[in-house]
Structures are given as C-alpha cells and as structure tokens.
Amino acid sequence: MSTAVGRPSVALHFTWQRDWDGVQRILPAIEAALAPFDPRPHWGKVFAMNPAAVRASYPQMPAFVELVDRYDPNGTFRNAFINRYVFGEG
C-alpha cells in the first residue's frame, strides 16, 4: 500500500500552523492542483480526497482488502477510517 508502488513518485509535505479549520479549507485546493498528477495520499497524513478516489488510486487495494478480510475477518483492527477509505463503508 505504498504511495510509490509501480511508478516514479515524489512526496510533498507541509508544516501547518495549529489551525485545523484553515487546514481543512486549503486541503481541497491543494488536492485539486495535484489532481492531474494522479496523487495517492499518505495513510498517515491529513487529506480530504473522496474515499472512492483514494481506493481507486491504489492498484493493490483489492489484494489488500483480501488480506484484511482473511486475517481480520471480525474487523477487530478496523476503525472508521479503514471502513471508509479501504472498504468504502460509511
């Protein structure tokens, strides 16, 4: 589930002020500017991309979903984020 798998990649990291409202407002603009480059968000960073777009951007997503289903069939290690961005629930 690496952001760099299968293609040349670059990572952009930003340092934010402690202004969550401001960050939430600017994220869509940053992501729109990066959209032509088919971005893949980093799982440990803040992003605002549509969950379906995130799933579609990772070519190994179906294999990952299979692994999660196989090794965590009861969803013990799942949370709202995983349900939304990996499984498309909620």
Predicted local confidence at residue 81, as pLDDT: 95
Separation between Cα atoms, residue 66 and residue 58, nearest integer Å: 14
Predicted local confidence at residue 49, as pLDDT: 94
Query: pLDDT tens for residues 8-67?
Result: 998 888 777 788 899 889 999 999 999 999 999 998 888 999 999 999 999 999 999 999
**Alpha helices per DSSP H over 1-90:** 20-34, 51-57, 61-71, 80-85
Predicted local confidence at residue 1, as pLDDT: 83
Predicted local confidence at residue 65, as pLDDT: 96
pLDDT at 76 over 90: yes
Residues 6+ apart with CB under 8 A from 69: none
SS3 content of the chain, % helix, strand, coil (to 5): 45, 0, 55
Predicted local confidence at residue 71, as pLDDT: 97
